[in-house]
Structure 1
Amino acid sequence: MSRQPEPALWQLSFTLPLKQADDIAADFEEDALTISTQEAVSDGSRWRLDILFDQEPAAALLDRIPSGTDFELAPLAQKDWVSESQKMLPPVDAGRFYIHGSHDQPHPATSRHNLLIDAGAAFGTGLHETTFGCLMALHDLRKWKSVKNPLDLGCGSGVLALAIAKAWSKPVIASDIDPAAVSVSLDNAKRNNLAPLITAVQASGLNSRKLKENAPYDLIVANILAWPLVRMAPDISAALTANGTLILSGLLGTRDVMVRNAYLQQGLILKRRYRIGSWNALVLGR
Structure 2
Amino acid sequence: MSKQPECPLWQLTLTLPFEQVENITDIFEEHALTVSMEEAVSDGSLWRLDILFSEEPPSALLDQLPSEHSFEFAPLVQKDWVSESQRMLPPVDAGRFYIHGSHDAPHPARSRYNLLIDAGAAFGTGLHETTYGCLVALDNLRKSRDFRNPLDLGCGSGVLALAIAKAWKTPVIASDIDVAAVNVTRANAERNRLAPLVTAVHAAGLNSRILNSRAPYDLIVANILAWPLVKMAPGICDALSSNGVLVLSGLLGSQEVMVRSAYLQQGLRLKRRYSIGSWTALVLGR
Q: What TM-score, normalized by structure 1, do the two folds share?
A: 0.77
Distance 2:113 2:10 in 1: 35
Unaligned stretches of 5+ in structure 2? 16-20, 37-49
- Given the alignment of the two structures, is residue 139 of structure 1 paired with residue 142 of structure 2, yes or no? no
CA contact (8 A) 1:12 1:74 kept: no
CA contact (8 A) 1:10 1:52 kept: no
Q: 1:73 is aligned with what amino acid?
A: L
Q: Which residue of 1 aligns with 2:263?
A: 263
Unaligned stretches of 5+ in structure 1? 1-6, 14-22, 37-49
Q: Which residue of 2 aligns with 1:227?
A: 227
Please give the secondary structure, in 2, of the residue aligned with 1:234: helix
CA contact (8 A) 2:270 2:282 kept: yes
Distance 2:35 2:166 in 1: 27
Aligned residues between the structures: 246
- Given the alignment of the two structures, is residue 73 of structure 1 paired with residue 66 of structure 2, yes or no? no
Q: Deviations over 1:4-28 (max 9, x none)?
A: xxx6875368xxxxxxxxx9xxx9x
Please give the secondary structure, in 1, of the residue aligned with 2:143: coil
Q: Deviations over 1:202-246 (max 9, x none)?
A: 000000000000000000000000000000000000000000000
Q: 2:86 is aligned with what amino acid?
A: K
Q: 1:156 is aligned with what amino acid?
A: G
**Stretches of 4+ moved more than 4 A in 1?**
7-10, 57-66
1:73 shift after superposition: 1.8
Matches within 5 A, 1:88-237: 88=87, 89-237=89-237
Please give the secondary structure, in 1, of the residue aligned with 2:247: strand
| Residues 190 and 35 of structure 1, relative CA distance in 2, 3 Å threshold | farther
Q: Deviations over 1:94-113 (max 9, x none)?
A: 11000000000000111110
Q: 2:103 is aligned with what amino acid?
A: H
Q: What TM-score, normalized by structure 2, do the two folds share?
A: 0.77
1:35 shift after superposition: 8.2
1:184 shift after superposition: 0.1
1:87 shift after superposition: 3.1
| Residues 271 and 55 of structure 1, relative CA distance in 2, 3 Å threshold | farther
1:86 shift after superposition: 3.7
Q: Which residue of 1 aligns with 2:45?
A: none
